Amino acid sequence: MRHAPIDPALFTANRRRLVQLLPPGSVAVLHAADTLPTTGDGTLRIHPASDLFWASGIEQEESVLVLAPGAVNPAHREMLFLRQPNEQLATWEGAKLTTEQARQISGITKIRWLTEFPAAIHALLCESDAVYLNANEHERAATEVESRDERMARQLIHRYPLHRFERLAPLLRRLRAVKTPAEVALIRKATDITDAGLRRMLAALRPGVMEFELEAELTAEFVRRRARMAYEPIIGSGNNTCVLHYIENDQACRDGELVLVDVGASYANYASDLTRTYPVNGRFTPRQRAVYEAVLRVLRSSIARTTVGTRLLDWKRAAQAEMAGELVTLGLLTPEQAAQDSADEPACKQYFMHGLGHSLGLGVHDMAPVDGPLAAGWVMTVEPGIYIPEEGLAVRLENDILVTENGPVDLCGHVPIEPDEIERIMAGHAAGGGRV
């Protein structure tokens, strides 16, 4: 693993929280993610299954975690199944986890080889009534490709048709939404790395630089700090700022334009997600600054509303109503258009057409109850924007916010966002020659 070791107490506590929700006579099974093919005999780098990692800290392919809190044999109540290391695997793929290494990472005592799984699960099911199986139930998930979890579900349902099969995802959705202090510390680490990457990138920002050159600066800083990209970075200048999911990053940044940078580091599989919008030449035009400050005001107000008990639909709706007023001030809406604002037809939707934010954690769009309510321990992104294609101009700003009983805590409060501060930093880089 690239990241520093994590105290296994985190994963032990997470398993304890999960088994407390399982009824008597239950067995829960979590799988690693598949290794996905590219072309020929190529494969993608494995992306650890978030649920398995949350419960065990294990990132190795083909791993299986079985939780059976009521098992007759206490040694079978937590079992982790792994590929057995051998010389051929070591030669072609590198060293695999030993039993002792797996214990140190996960805090699980009973480590078994994957070849033992069929007999072990059969023995457990003979003394159990219900099986909790996992699936990707994110509301925006693409499910065209069958996962290891789904293949196992099909096999077990066929072999044990008289057992009761239950969904594990709703339990994990509730649990994963609330981050422990150890998880928040990892998200803070990811935001700190993102901040370092953005500061490095700013030293290279100037008229004529290519969007992919800015991406290269971010990537270099992330890798140097034992992190990776949490998602495909969006680095769009000029008209590209208005494309919400622009990832080509292949155009030149021109004098007088803005560049929108939506990027986040992933550290120990915990994601950050920040967006900043910068003037390519180091100075905002009056129009750019007016739009920027309007978005910043909505960001500040929305952060203040990220509080315990808030429903997400109400949270988004308040931002839409506020944005409509800002758009009137900017001359983009008439007062009459703003007066027609409603939940079904937000007046701002032509210029602010996306959501206000999402849960953040082991996923960039992390698992959480769809409408909340927000609870202490949630981490939410807040990301209002204004997009004006006819002017080739857009501004989006995004910070990551921890919900607490004492109010919202901005995990990105140290990342420069005030327009005067950004201009001052960029002027300093220009005076010093910037990055060569």
Residue 272 burial (C-beta neighbours within 10 Å; 0-12, 13-18, 19+): buried
**Active-site residue identified among 78, 183, 398, 400:** 398
Q: How many structural domains does the chain have?
A: 2
pLDDT in tens, the chain (436 residues): 789 999 999 999 999 999 999 999 999 999 999 888 889 988 888 889 999 999 999 999 999 999 999 999 999 999 999 999 999 988 988 999 999 999 999 999 999 999 999 999 999 999 999 999 999 888 888 777 888 999 999 999 999 999 999 999 999 999 999 999 999 999 999 999 999 999 999 999 999 999 999 999 999 999 999 999 999 999 999 999 999 999 999 999 999 999 999 999 999 999 999 999 999 999 999 999 999 999 999 999 999 999 999 999 999 999 999 999 999 999 999 999 999 999 999 999 999 999 999 999 999 999 999 999 999 999 999 999 999 999 999 999 999 999 999 999 999 999 999 999 999 999 999 887 665 3
**Same domain assignment for residues 142 and 239:** no
Does 350 reside within a domain?
yes
Instruction: Please confirm, yes or no, whether 257 is among the known catalytic residues.
Output: no
> Range of 72's domain?
9-176
In a domain, residue 3? The reply is no
Which of 51, 183, 221, 262 is labelled catalytic? 262
- The residue annotated as part of the active site, out of 47, 354, 429, 435, is 354
∠ CA 80-143-151, rounded to 5°: 40
Model pLDDT, residue 389: 97
Residue 141 has what pLDDT? 82
- Catalytic residue list contains 129: no
Q: Please pick, among 77, 195, 387, 410, the residue that the annotation labels catalytic.
A: 387
Of 146, 176, 206, the position where a domain reaches its end is: 176
Same domain, residue pair 286 and 371:
yes
CATH of the domain at 277: 3.90.230.10
Q: Are residues 268 and 123 in the same domain?
A: no
106 and 252 both lie in a single domain: no
| Final residue of a structural domain among 176, 193, 226 | 176
The pTM of the full predicted model, rounded to 2 decimals, is 0.95
Assess whether 420 carries a catalytic annotation. no
Do 201 and 158 lie in a common domain? no
Shared-domain flag, residues 171 and 247:
no
Listed as own residue / partner, the contacts of 81-84 with beta carbons closer than 8 Å and 24 or more positions apart are: 81/112, 81/113, 81/114, 81/116, 81/117, 81/120, 82/58, 82/111, 82/112, 82/113, 82/114, 83/113, 83/114, 84/113, 84/114, 84/115
Q: Are residues 80 and 197 in the same domain?
A: no
76 in active site? no
For residue 386, is it within any domain? yes
* Residue 4 falls inside a structural domain: no
Catalytic entry in 245, 311, 414, 424: 245
Specify whether 222 is located in the same domain as 345. Answer: yes
168 shares its domain with 187: no
**143 and 245 within one domain:** no
Asked about 414 being catalytic, the answer comes back as no
Catalytic residue among 31, 365, 400, 410: 365
Contacts with 392 (C-beta within 8 Å, 6 or more apart), sequence order:
238, 239, 241, 242, 257
Domain C-terminal end among 176, 205, 226: 176
Looking at the structure, tell me whether residues 133 and 224 fall in a common domain.
Answer: no
Q: Which of 59, 78, 215, 383 is catalytic?
A: 383
pLDDT of 436 reads 36
State the catalytic residue, choosing from 292, 341, 358, 366: 358
* Domain-embedded: residue 200: yes
CATH number, domain containing residue 109 = 3.40.350.10
387 is catalytic: yes
Q: Which of 148, 173, 176, 396 is catalytic?
A: 396
- Angstrom CA distances, 143 to 128, 138, 156, 212, 416, stand at 30, 10, 20, 31, 38
H or E element, residue 314 = helix 312-329
Q: Is residue 128 situated within a structural domain?
A: yes
Q: Is 358 a catalytic residue?
A: yes
- Whether residue 190 lies inside any domain: the answer is yes
354 is known as an active-site residue? yes
Catalytic annotation present for 87: no
Residue 228 annotated in active site: no
Chain-centroid distance of CA 117 in Å reads 31
Residue 247: other Cβ atoms inside 10 A: 15
Marked catalytic residue, from 221, 273, 322, 366: 273
The answer to whether the beta carbons of residues 152 and 12 sit under 8 Å apart is no
